[in-house]
């Protein structure tokens, strides 16, 4: 499953919260961001991966999930990263 979104989070949301939110899901969860001419993809369950993304409001990203509870995982990520809309 895949969905393109625009990041819109509030200042009080943290990557630690997002990482904790995603741990119970069995699905693999990836975030892909185009950075100038490069495409960076990280596993969202990886705390270090989240840090390297340097997400900011207005960034367009692609959320991709694979596995048993992929739909639920996708919805959780989309809801968290667009909460401020």
Is CATH 3.30.420.40 the classification given to domain 2-81?
Answer: no
Top pLDDT among 13 and 74 is at 74
Residue range 18-66, pLDDT digits in tens: 888 999 999 999 999 987 788 889 998 888 877 888 888 999 999 999 9
Which tops the pLDDT comparison, 51 or 71?
71
Residue extents of the structural domains in the chain: 2-81
- Residues 56, 29 contacting (CB under 8 angstroms): no
DSSP symbols for 15-73: HHHHHHHHTT--SEEEEEEEETTEEEEEETT-HHHHHHH---TT-EEEEEEESTTHHHH
- Nearest in space to 33 (alpha carbons), one of 46, 52, 20: 52
Length of the chain: 85
How many angstroms separate the CA atoms of 76 and 83, rounded? 10
């Amino acid at each position: 499953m895949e969905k393109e979104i625009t990041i819109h989070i509030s200042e009080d949301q943290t990557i630690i919260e997002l990482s904790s939110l995603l741990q119970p899901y069995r699905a693999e969860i990836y975030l892909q961001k185009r950075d100038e001419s490069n495409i960076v993809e990280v596993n969202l369950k990886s705390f270090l991966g989240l840090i390297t993304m340097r997400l900011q409001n207005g960034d367009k990203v692609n959320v991709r999930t694979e596995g048993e509870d992929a739909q639920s995982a996708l919805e959780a990520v989309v809801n968290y990263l667009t909460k401020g809309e």
